[in-house]
C-alpha cells in the first residue's frame, strides 16, 4: 500500500460511521484495539482534553518530556497539512511509507472489528494507527489529545498518568450539548480513579469538573490555585513570564505569541509536576524545551510588508483569544482578515470578537472530504449586519492574494477560522512566498 492509497482508503471512511452520540462506539474502539494487541496500554500516557488550548498544551507536554530525554509520542487532531501529523515522535511526524505500511497491517483487525460492530471511523483508525506506531517504536511516554468531548471519545480507553482539561466553552454543541454545564460534564468523563486531573476551567465548568473528580476518586488540581504568573520583560514577537508553583519557579521565554499561551504553559507545568518520579521532567528541562517551542498554525507570525499571522480559531473561545492576542501584540495596527468557517460552527459567535477590531474582511471557503464550509456570502452578510464592510471570494488563494495586494505595508494579514482553511493557505504561503524568498 502506498501513502496515496492509504490516504484514499481513510478518506473513504469519513462518512461511514455511526453518530458520535452512539453510546456503544467505545465498544467498537475497544474491540478494534484488542484486535491490534492493545497498543494504547504499552507505554505511559498523558490525556489532554478541553475546548481550546488542548493542542498547544499537549505539544508543550510532549516537548518537555522529549527535552528530558524521554522518547515521546504525540497524537493531536485535526492535522494542519498531513494525516501523518496525527502520530509524531519527538516532534517528527510518522514517515509516509511507515504510515501506509502500518495501515496495511491493520486491515485484518479493521475487518474483524467490522464483522463484530461496524467499520472503525476515520478518526478511530488514525488514532489506533498512532497508538500502534508508538508501541512499535517503543516510546517511553505519549501525550494523547482528546478528539471531541471526553466520555465517549476513543482516547478515553487509555490508562493515563495524568489527565488535563484546559478549559470549557461552547463548541461541538450538536454532539456534547448546548450549555457549558453539559459540555463540562462530557469532558469530565476522562476523570479516572486515582489519576490526577488538572484543569484551568473556571466558574460553573470548574465546579462540574471538580464534582466529577470527586465521584471518580480522581485528585483535582485547579491551575488557578496551583500557580502564579508574573510578566517579565519580553522580546518582540515572543513573551517572557515566570510560573511559580508549590514546587518551583519556571522563568519561561516562549517564542510564540498570545498571552493565552501563558495559561496553557501553566496548565502543562502543573500536569508535569503530577507525574511520578522517573517520568517527571526537571524544571530546567521544561524551561529549555518551552524556549524552543514550535506551534504551527497557532498565532504563527511571519514578518513582512504586510506581515501575516496563521491561527486556527474555529470556535468562539479561540476567536476571543485570537482577538485579545492581536490587540496585545499589534497595538495601533490594522488587520486584514481572510476567513473560512465550517458550516457546523456558530459563525456569528466566532466572528463577533474579530468584528470589533480595526479590520477589513474577505470571506472564503475550503474543500475537504466530510466537511463543508459556510457560504462566504453568508459570512459577509453577518459582518455587514454589524456595520463592517466585507467581500466574499470563493477561491481561498485568490482571497489571500487580493488581501495582500490591497493591504497597506503596516497591516497584519490574519488567516483564521477552520483548520482546513488555515492549513491550505499556510502550505501555499510556505511554498510560494517563504521558499521563494529564500531562493
pLDDT per residue as tens, the chain (439 positions): 999 999 999 988 875 444 444 544 799 999 999 999 999 999 999 999 998 899 999 999 999 999 999 999 999 998 888 999 999 999 999 999 999 999 999 999 999 999 999 899 999 999 999 999 999 999 999 999 999 888 899 999 999 999 999 998 755 444 555 578 888 999 999 999 999 999 999 999 999 999 999 999 999 999 999 999 999 998 777 899 999 999 999 999 999 888 889 999 999 999 999 999 999 999 999 999 999 998 998 889 998 899 999 999 988 888 998 999 999 899 889 999 999 999 888 999 999 999 999 999 999 999 887 778 999 999 999 999 999 989 999 999 999 999 999 999 999 999 999 999 999 999 999 998 876 666 5
- The span from the CA of 33 to the CA of 227, in Å, is 38
Q: In the numeric block, which cell numbers belong to residue 278? A: 522517573
- Residue 432 is given by DSSP the state I
Classify each residue of 358-395 as buried b or exposed e, where b means 16 or more C-beta atoms within 10 Å of its C-beta: ebbbbbbbbebeeeebbebeebbebbeeeebebbbbee
Q: In what order do the strands lie in the sheet with 197-199?
A: 92-93, 88-89, 72-75, 141-145, 45-49, 162-165, 197-199, 220-222
Q: In the numeric block, which cell numbers belong to residue 87? A: 502520530
Pairing, β 300-302 against β 307-312: antiparallel
Are 3-224+258-288 and 300-438 equal in CATH topology? no
What count of other Cβ atoms lies within 10 Å of the Cβ of residue 203?
Answer: 10
C-alpha Rg value of the chain to the nearest Å? 21
Assign residue 418 a region (left: φ > 0; alpha: ψ between -120 and 50; beta: otherwise): beta
Predicted pLDDT at 218: 98
Sole residue written with cell 478518526: 123
Q: Where are the domains of the chain?
A: 3-224+258-288, 300-438
Predicted pLDDT at 439: 57
Query: Options 3.30.365.10, 3.90.470.20, 3.30.420.40, 3.90.190.20; which CATH number does 300-438 get?
Result: 3.90.190.20
- 317 closest CA partner among 424, 202, 430: 202
Predicted pLDDT at 374: 93
Q: In what order do the strands lie in the sheet with 239-244?
A: 228-232, 239-244, 249-254
Our CA angle for 112, 186, 93, nearest 5°, is 55
Q: In the numeric block, which cell numbers belong to residue 203? A: 466558574
- The span from the CA of 114 to the CA of 125, in Å, is 12
Q: How deeply is 73 buried, as exposed, middle or buried, from its count of CB atoms within 10 A (0-12, 13-18, 19+)?
A: buried
- 118 closest CA partner among 18, 187, 26: 18
Classify domain 3-224+258-288 by CATH number. Answer: 3.40.1190.10
- 46 closest CA partner among 169, 190, 259, 151: 190
Amino acid at each position: 500500500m502506498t501513502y496515496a492509497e492509504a490516504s484514499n482508503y481513510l478518506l473513504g471512511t469519513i462518512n461511514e460511521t455511526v453518530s458520535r452520540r452512539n453510546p456503544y462506539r467505545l465498544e467498537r474502539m475497544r474491540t478494534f484495539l484488542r484486535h491490534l494487541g492493545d497498543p494504547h496500554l504499552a507505554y505511559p500516557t498523558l490525556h489532554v482534553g478541553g475546548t481550546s488550548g488542548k493542542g498547544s498544551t499537549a505539544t508543550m507536554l510532549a516537548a518537555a518530556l522529549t527535552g528530558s530525554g524521554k522518547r515521546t509520542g504525540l497524537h493531536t487532531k485535526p492535522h494542519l497539512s498531513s494525516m501523518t501529523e496525527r502520530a509524531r515522535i519527538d516532534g517528527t511526524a510518522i514517515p509516509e511509507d511507515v504510515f501506509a505500511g502500518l495501515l496495511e497491517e491493520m486491515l485484518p483487525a479493521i475487518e474483524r472489528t467490522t464483522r463484530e460492530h461496524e467499520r472503525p471511523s476515520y478518526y478511530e483508525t488514525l488514532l489506533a494507527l498512532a497508538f500502534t506506531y508508538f508501541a512499535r517504536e517503543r516510546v517511553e511516554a505519549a501525550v494523547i489529545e482528546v478528539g471531541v468531548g471526553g466520555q465517549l471519545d476513543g482516547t478515553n480507553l487509555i490508562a493515563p498518568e495524568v489527565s488535563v482539561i484546559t478549559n470549557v466553552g461552547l463548541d461541538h454543541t450538536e454532539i456534547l450539548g448546548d450549555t457549558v454545564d453539559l459540555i463540562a460534564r462530557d469532558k469530565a468523563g476522562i476523570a479516572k480513579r486515582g489519576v490526577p486531573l488538572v484543569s484551568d476551567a473556571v466558574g460553573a465548568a470548574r465546579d462540574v469538573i471538580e464534582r466529577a473528580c470527586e465521584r471518580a476518586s480522581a485528585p483535582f488540581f485547579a491551575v488557578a490555585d496551583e500557580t502564579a504568573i508574573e510578566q517579565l520583560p519580553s522580546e518582540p514577537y515572543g513573551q517572557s513570564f515566570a510560573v511559580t508553583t508549590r514546587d518551583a519557579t519556571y522563568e519561561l521565554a516562549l517564542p510564540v505569541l498570545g498571552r493565552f499561551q501563558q495559561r496553557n504553559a501553566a496548565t502543562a507545568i502543573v500536569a508535569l509536576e503530577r507525574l511520578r518520579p522517573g517520568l517527571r521532567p526537571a524544571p530546567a528541562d521544561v524551561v529549555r524545551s518551552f524556549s524552543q517551542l514550535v506551534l504551527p498554525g497557532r498565532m504563527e507570525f511571519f514578518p513582512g510588508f504586510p506581515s501575516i499571522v496563521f491561527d486556527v480559531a474555529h470556535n468562539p473561545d479561540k476567536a476571543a483569544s485570537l482577538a485579545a492576542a492581536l490587540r496585545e501584540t499589534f497595538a495601533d495596527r490594522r488587520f486584514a482578515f481572510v476567513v473560512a468557517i465550517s458550516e457546523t460552527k456558530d459563525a456569528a459567535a466566532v466572528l463577533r470578537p474579530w468584528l470589533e477590531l480595526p479590520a477589513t474582511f474577505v470571506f472564503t471557503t475550503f474543500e475537504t472530504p466530510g466537511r463543508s464550509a459556510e457560504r462566504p456570502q453568508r459570512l459577509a452578510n453577518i459582518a455587514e449586519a454589524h456595520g463592517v464592510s466585507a467581500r466574499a471570494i470563493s477561491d481561498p488563494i485568490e482571497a489571500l492574494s487580493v488581501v495582500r495586494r490591497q493591504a497597506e505595508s503596516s497591516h497584519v494579514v490574519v488567516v483564521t477560522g477552520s483548520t482546513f482553511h488555515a492549513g491550505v493557505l499556510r502550505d501555499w504561503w510556505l511554498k510560494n512566498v517563504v521558499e521563494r524568498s529564500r531562493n
